[in-house]
Every structure is written in structure tokens, then in C-alpha cells.
Chain A
Amino acid sequence: MHSFLRNYPTEAKLLAVLVVICAALSSASPSFLTLVNFTDLLNNNAVNVIWAVGLVVVLIAGGIDISFAVAASVVQYLCVFVFGWIGGGNWAIGFVVAGVLGISLGLINAFLIHQFRIISIVVTIATFNAFFGLLMFFSSGRFLYNLPGWWSDRLILWEYETSGGTWAEIRLPVVVMVVAMFATWALIRHTTTGRQLYAFGDNPEGARRAGINIALMQAIAFGWMGMMAGIGGLMQSHITREVVPNALYGRELEVLAAVVLGGARLGGGRGSVLGCFLGVALIAVTQNGLNLMGVSPYAFKMVVGLTILIAISMSNLDFSAMTAPKRRDL
């Protein structure tokens, strides 16, 4: 417990905030603390978590990616064509195709960043616009509904009828989310490559002098992000049963906020899978709670914004520093 607090101070604070909000919401709305509501929350936010664990790897390596949500849309579109072309496909092929397409888009970012030494925010804003422009151009903004059956049919992996007659269920995206979380955790905590990513984000010059392959780091970070973007895209269409070219536009900021909330640092070198999950959960729970209480959607966007602001400033506060005199960097 002590070492958890020490190694994951942000995550611990976030968890505490989450518990307080959950307690407040469960007393404010009787339908909040129910099994059905919780499984719904999981099903609806699994894709955000999948993206978040991809994005956190980029942030750990000292970069940022604005383009992943649009990249996910591109992958969805290309998947529809690939599956049509090979005459159907199945889940195994689906994951491989979406993953590979996503990785390819991620590698474009990595290549531009490394080759031309442009900072990642500039590169990914550019690719964000390029991906989106190309997508709208080639799709003419049309929706696609002709997804293969295996893709669009709901896959319920666990269900339970509550005493009230409603069903609590866990769908495929939640399982994929768990696998993505586990894989990312294994990568960043338990492989040498993962530790190199942290080191690279923490002190790029130090990493270079230590003999870390910088190009490889960029490729792995953005490749991993791309893979998660593609798989998240696949899951998103599984949920909505359609491909809408601009449906994911804007989601990148929501996910980015969640990841930063979860303790990842924009300067690199810090971030965890647990933090991603808690960050997404905090935003999701706040929205959900306000929704249940019948608050206007406009108001709750604002409340979510405030929550992010408060949580982030809390996590950056060092309480011992508040009592000490100020040291301005002159």
C-alpha cells in the first residue's frame, strides 16, 4: 500500500476522487450503483480505454498523437473494403487487418517525426488533417452499413438477469479492452523495450548516449498507438454497426484528457495503464452520473471540463510545496 502510494501518487489520488464521486452519485441517484449501469459504463467506454492505453505509450515516450481517432476512422473504412474484397473474413482476420492498417498509419507518424525531426504535435496535427481530408474526399461523407455479419452482430460474452428483469451484460469490446490493457502493461512494465520507452521520454539525450535506438522507440510508440487505434476502430463499428467517416472526430481530445488525468506527463517519462483506466472512468462516471440526474448535456460538458481541470491541478499539486515559499524560476 505504501509503495503503491509512492510509485503511483497520481493514480492513488485519482482513485480517491473517483470513490468520492461514486459515493456522491450513488446517494444522489438510485440507479447509479447498479450492476446494469456498471456493465453499460464498461461496454460504452471500452473503446476509449483501448485508445487510452495506446496513447499513453506515446506520451511515455515523450510524444503526443492527435491523429489516432481519425486514423481509426480510416482503418474502419479500409476494413470494409478489405473484407468485401476477400469475401467476408472473420474476427481473427478482422483483428489482424485492423491492427496492421493501424500500425501502418502510426508508422507514417513515426517516420515523419524521426526523419525530419519535427515535433510530434505538429506532425500529428498534419496527419490528422491529411487523414481526415482524404477520408472525406474518398468517402464523400457517405455512411457504410454493409458490414459483414460477424462484425456487426452483437457478441455477448456474459449476461445476467437482475431481479428487476433487466439484463447486465459484458460485450466483446470489454474483453478486447482487458487484453489491450494487459498487453500494454506487460510491454511498458515488464519488457526492456518498455523501459527504454520511459527512458527515452524522460531524457532523450541521455537515452541516445546510453545507446537506445531512437528510431525504433518512435516506431514502437506510434506503432502501438496505431494498432490500438485500429482495433479500437474495429470495436467501435462493432458497437454502432456502421462506419461513419466523421463519427470519431474529436474523440482524441477526450481520450487525451483522460490519459493526462491518469498521470501521464506531457513531457514524457511518466504514465501507467491503471492511470488510463481511472482517467477514462472518472470522465465516464461523471458524465453518467449527471445524465442519470437529468442534467442538461450542455451543462455536463462543462462539469466534465471542470472535473478535468480540478483533477489535473490536484495531481500536479504537491501539498508540501504549498506551505513553502514560492520559488519562481527567474
Chain B
Amino acid sequence: MAEPAIRLTSVSKRFGGVQALDSVDFAVDAGEVHCLAGENGCGKSTIIKIVTGVYQPDPGARIELFGEVVEKVTPQEARARGIAVIWQDLALFPEMTVAENIAFETMLGNRPRRVSYPAMRKRAVAALARLDVDLDLDARLNTLPIAQRQVVAIARALVSDARLIFMDEPTASLTQSETDALLDVVRKLSARGVAVVFVSHRLAEVLDISSRVTVFRDGRLVGVYPTEGMTQGRLTELMTGKHFETTVAARDVTGPPVLEVQGLTRQGEYADVSFTLHAGEVLGLTGLIGAGRSELGHTLFGMSRADAGQVLLDGKPVRFPSNRAAVDAGIAYVSEDRLSLGLIQPQSIADNTVMAVLKRITSGGLISPAKKAALVDHWIRELAVKIGEPTDAVSTLSGGNQQRVVLAKWLATEPRVLILDSPTVGVDVGARAGIFRIVRQLAETGLAILLISDEATEVLANADRVLHMAGGRILGEYDPRETTLQGLEAAIYA
């Protein structure tokens, strides 16, 4: 039996009305890759924050770090003992440069020291080299797209000589090659005796990388299992207590065309894109990150303009000067980067839900509390968002539940065309099924849905037709009923 790196016993944490953790035990051995799995809001991020002193546990908990019982953990203490974290919300410094973000730990400590910018850069370069990526070290972080910020957050955790690294959904917005590089680094870390706690909703990844998995459900420990012999189906059952079947939902769509895209081109983003989206149809759009899928979505939603080509809505050419105009025309867009584009974090769940439909809940110029409450209740129930009170700030929700609030906000606009850009990033299996069930129901009512996703399984299971995009162009169209996963993946990774 290997030495334990950390051992937590009977950890509980209550936030107002939410019991985030209920007397759970959690232990990680030195040099082990340990996976923490569970549905959205089951307490994965919370336990990481407790180990690292960001939150204090409720009385009764016992925390042992590298063989020593620690009475009160503080972030400084945790870091000093060799614990590093890749936070789910990254927790980077947007105004600072890439180099400074990565090597920020050289700046820590209460006693002032001289800053050595060359030494800082050297560390940053070394960390990026381990991930085999190239980033402009002097770029300010807030100028980078979300995927690159994620890389910065990962590099930051690698800089330190940590003995235990928590990775909270580090791969959610990475490309396949970046993910592979990360998994490789994790293996190397583990070989060097560094323990890694890995959190991800991509179960294939989880089973691939870890040797043991701890499963939480609703803040309680379900069990600790070796990954050998574990299947995705079994893990899903442990996480949710339910059994899920993946089936192909595709069918023939006979509705009239709603959105027609003809030869749409935007320099450097996508070129000559044409397709037709019918009423009642779920059209999948897949391809690797960087294929121009999200950029296309931005244009359709009025957030950027095409250089050539046109978009017809109900047969009439449209050009949206702003996203507000697109919303008014009945288009809704659920963004991939939900944390910065989709939600106003400090505002309440209720306010975020009704943000795009204020007009509909006002009477006589004032917001009607009754209409607002009814609308909010409806969508929270419909999407099974796990919340304390609708008046709680969105920032108190778990990552996956925030994603559902974004979805609720856009569904509340009752759009005719719904563009879903990676709607299940960071969403657990159970909730994915829930979200797609809703997507299906919406399509049944005649909504036209464009489903953008980089997961081939997801589009095959849920779309009526699938378009494959690469290098800004549409390369092919597939019928999910006649396409195998291997076939589509071969095309995507070709």
C-alpha cells in the first residue's frame, strides 16, 4: 500500500440551504492519478477548495496532508506543503501577461523581493515546453481565447514543484492534441511520484488516465473504485444512480427551411459555407476546435459580419447589426465561453434567467415579480438546475449548473433558431441526457437547432444531420443513421 498524500475524513460543508458536502472521506496516494467523478454540483470543486484552504470545512473534519494533521489549512499553507491547483474557473489575472500568469508563484510571499522578469520568463517557457505549446509570453491574458487561457492555467500548476496537483476540468476547452499533451504530462508527473487528482466529465478520459476513481453523488461519497475493468456505463450509473442508453435520435425532417446560409465567408475564419436549417431539425456541426464553427455561430448571431455570402431567414435576406437585432429576429445563441459571455456572475440566478426577456415580464413598465418568478421556476424545473434559492448569485453555482442557467436564459427568449455552441462542456452525463431531451422536445415543437460540438458521439446521437467542418470549410454531410462513430471520427481526425 502506497503512502497517502492526503487523507480527509468526515468533511462536511454547508452553504446556506445547500449541503455541498456531507461527511465525505477522500484519500489520494502519493504518485497516484486519482479521478474525482460525479454529477454537476456534487461537491467536487468544493472539496478541492477545502483541501487548499479556500473554504473552511464545517466542524468535525480531519485533514491530513502528507502524513501530518493540519488544523486550519490556508491557501499559503497548502501551497507551502506542495499542493497546486488548476481551478475550474481558472482564477488567472486577465490584465497580466502570459509569462507573469504562469510564473506567478515566484511573486508570492509576504516579504518583498526583487522581481526578476528574465527568471520568470524562463520558468514560463519551461512550463509551456512541457505541454508542447507555443504562446506569446508577452500577450496580455485577456486578449487570449478561452482555450489558450486554459493552457496558461495548466502551465501555472506545472511551474511549482508540487507533490499533489488538483486539475478541475482542465480539458473542458482544449483541442484533442492539447488534451493528449496534458494527459501525457499527467503520466510523467505520476511516474515522478506526483499525485494528480483529475476531474472531468469526459468519462473516456477519466478511465484512460486514472488508476482509481472516487465517486460523489449529491455531496455524499458513493465509493472508491479501481478503474481497471470499469466501463463508462458503470461509472455513469454510480454517478447518477440511473442507467442511460445512447441511441440515435435522427429522423427525416419535413419542415420548411428557416435559416439558409449561402456562400458565407469571413476572411481568416470560415469560407464559402452553405447549408439549410429546417424547422424542427437538429443540425449537428462538428469538427476540431479552431475549425471556424464558433466563428460562424458568432456571425449568425450578429456578433461579427461576413465578408461575402448571405443569410436568409424565412427566405428573406437578413443582416444583423448587433446581437440584439438577432435576438429580436428570433435567434438565440448559447455561447461556448459561458463564464465570460453568458452570465453576469455576481447577479442572481433569477436575474440571469430573465435577462434576455425583460420585455415579456414587465407590466406597465415595471418588472412583475409574479411573472418573473413563474418564468424562473419553470426553467429551473425544466432544466433541473440544482440551486439553493433563485436569489443566490450565479457565482455560487457549480460549473455545470451555471451552464444550465445559460441555457435557461436563451430558451426563455422562445427563439425560432437556437444555436448551441458546445452546450455540454463541463456538464455531467445525466444532465447531458437531460439537455438533449429538451433539445429534442424543442425541435419537435418546430424550433430549428444548430448544434455545434466537437464530440462526434454527441452529434451522432442527437442530430438529424451532421455537417463536418475543418479549416473554415464544410467538408461533408453525414446521416447519423448510416454513419458509424469510427467513420465520422476518421473524417474529423484525418
Tell me whether B305 and A210 are in contact (CB under 8 A). no
Quick check: B95 and A270 within 8 Å, CB to CB? yes
Chain B 93-121 interface 0/1 with A at a Cβ cutoff of 8 Å (1 = within): 11110001000111111101111000000
Q: How far is the CB of A169 from chain B (nearest CB, A)?
A: 36
Contacting chain B: which of A45-53, A98-106, A186-194, A237-245? A186-194
Cα A207 to Cα B90 with chains together (Å): 12
For the complex formed, measure the closest distance between the CB of A28 and the CB atoms of chain B, giving whole angstroms.
39
Cross-interface CB contact of B322 among A199, A203, A208, A326, cutoff 8 Å: A326
Given contacts A210-B91, A269-B93, contact A199 B79 (CB under 8 A): no
- Asked if residues A202 and B94 are in contact (CB atoms below 8 Å), the reply is yes
Asked if B315 is at the interface (CB within 8 A of a chain A CB), the reply is no
Question: Does any Cβ of A come within 8 Å of B321's Cβ?
Answer: yes
Complex contacts, A6 vs chain B, CB 8 Å: 138
Q: Which residues of A contact B110 (CB under 8 A)?
A: 213, 216
A328 touches B75 (CB 8 A): no
Does B190 sit within 8 A of A, measured CB to CB? no
Contact B93 A199 (CB under 8 A): yes
Residues on the A chain within 8 Å of B79, using CB: 210-211
Cα distance A5–B105 in the bound complex, in angstroms: 27
**Chain A residues in 8 Å Cβ range of B114:** 190-192
Task: Decide if B321 touches A195 in the complex (CB within 8 Å).
Answer: no
A3 within 8 A of B: yes
A184 to chain B, nearest CB (A): 14
> A330 — which chain B residues lie within 8 A by C-beta?
323-324, 327, 355-356
Q: Mark A205-225, 1 if CB is under 8 A from B, else 0.
A: 111111111001000000000
B75–A192 touching, CB < 8 Å:
no
CA distance A205 to B112 in the complex (A): 21
- Do B75 and A208 touch across chains, with their CB atoms under 8 A apart? yes
Interface of B is mostly: loop
B305 touches A325 (CB 8 A): yes
* Distance to closest chain B CB from A257 (angstroms): 21
Contact among A193, A203, A328 with B91 in the assembled complex (CB-CB below 8 Å): A203
Counting CB contacts under 8 A, is B65 at the interface?
Answer: no
Contact A195 B115 (CB under 8 A): yes
- What's the dominant secondary structure at chain A's contact region? helix
**Counting CB contacts under 8 A, is A117 at the interface?**
no
Q: How far is the CA of A206 from the CA of B88 in the complex (A)?
A: 12
Shortest distance between the CB of B26 and any CB in chain A (Å): 19
A327 touches B93 (CB 8 A): no
Name the residue of chain B whose CB is nearest to the CB of A212.
B108
Asked if residues B95 and A206 are in contact (CB atoms below 8 Å), the reply is no
The answer to the question of B320 belonging to the interface, with a C-beta cut-off of 8 Å to chain A, is yes
CB of B273 within 8 A of chain A?
no
CA distance A212 to B109 in the complex (A): 7
- Chain B nearest CB, measured from A250 CB (Å): 31
- Report yes or no: B52 in contact with A209, Cβ–Cβ below 8 A: yes
Contact A269 B75, CB 8 Å, known A192-B109, A328-B324: no
Q: Are A325 and B303 in contact (CB under 8 A)?
A: yes
> Are the CB atoms of A192 and B87 closer together than 8 Å?
no
- Candidates A189, A191, A209; contact of B87 at CB < 8 Å: A209
Given contacts A198-B96, A324-B305, A326-B321, contact A210 B75 (CB under 8 A): yes
Q: Does A196 belong to the interface (CB within 8 Å)?
A: yes
CA distance A213 to B74 in the complex (A): 10
Give Cα distance in the complex from A202 to B75, angstroms: 18
Known: A190-B115, A206-B92, A325-B321. A211 touches B108 (CB 8 A): yes
Q: Which residues of B contact A196 (CB under 8 A)?
A: 107-108
Query: Chain B contacts of A195 at CB under 8 A?
Result: 100, 104, 107, 115
Chain A hits for B105, CB < 8 A:
210
B54 within 8 A of A: yes
- B33 interface residue (CB < 8 Å to A): no
- Decide yes or no whether B10 CB sits under 8 A from chain A: no
Within residues 297 to 326 of chain A, which ones have a CB less than 8 A from any CB in chain B?
324-326
Q: Residues 10-33 of chain A: 1 if any B CB is under 8 Å from the residue's CB, otherwise 0?
A: 000000000000000000000000
**Most A CB atoms within 10 A — which of B52, B76, B108, B305?**
B108
Tell me how far the C-beta of A220 lies from the nearest C-beta in chain B, rounded to whole angstroms. 9
- Determine if B54 and A325 form an interchain contact, defined as CB atoms under 8 angstroms apart: no
Contact of B74 among A193, A194, A211, A325 (CB under 8 A): A211
Q: Name B290-324 residues within 8 Å CB distance of A.
A: 302-305, 320-324
CB < 8 Å neighbour of A191 from B96, B112, B320: B112
For residues 308 through 364 of chain B, which have their beta carbon under 8 Å from a beta carbon of chain A?
A: 320-324, 327, 344, 355-356
B128 within 8 Å of A by Cβ? no
Residues of chain A from 158 to 192 with CB closer than 8 A to chain B in the complex? 189-192
* B304–A324 touching, CB < 8 Å: yes
Q: How far is the CA of A6 from the CA of B97 in the complex (A)?
A: 11
Is B195 engaged at the interface, CB distance under 8 Å to the other chain?
no
- Residues on A with C-beta less than 8 A from B47 are none
Q: How far is the CA of A296 from the CA of B271 in the complex (A)?
A: 60
Residue of A nearest to B332 (CB): A330
* A221 → chain B closest CB, angstroms: 14
Pairwise interchain contact A269-B95, C-beta atoms closer than 8 A: yes
CB distance from B281 to the nearest CB of A (A): 25
Q: Which residues of B contact A326 (CB under 8 A)?
A: 321-324
Closest-CB distance, A75 to chain B (whole angstroms): 25
User: Which chain A residues border B91 with CB–CB below 8 Å?
Assistant: 203, 205-206, 209-210
Interface residues of A in 255-269 (CB under 8 A from B): 265, 269
Contact B115 A192 (CB under 8 A): yes
Q: Is the CB of B324 within 8 A of A210?
A: no
Contact present for B327 and A199 (CB under 8 Å) = no
Q: B459 at interface (Cβ–Cβ under 8 A)?
A: no
Question: Complex Cα distance A209/B48, Å?
Answer: 11
List B contacts of A269 (CB < 8 A): 93-96
Q: Which residues of A contact B104 (CB under 8 A)?
A: 195, 199, 210
Q: Which residues of A contact B (CB under 8 A)?
A: 3, 6-7, 189-196, 198-199, 202-203, 205-213, 216, 265, 269-270, 324-330
The 8 closest A-B pairs by CB, nearest first: A206-B91, A211-B75, A269-B95, A326-B322, A211-B76, A193-B112, A195-B107, A202-B93
**30 A-B contact pairs sorted by A residue (CB < 8 Å):** A189-B115, A190-B114, A190-B115, A191-B112, A191-B113, A192-B107, A194-B112, A195-B107, A196-B107, A198-B95, A198-B96, A202-B94, A203-B93, A206-B93, A208-B54, A209-B54, A209-B85, A209-B91, A210-B104, A212-B108, A213-B76, A265-B95, A325-B303, A325-B305, A325-B322, A326-B321, A326-B322, A328-B322, A328-B324, A330-B324
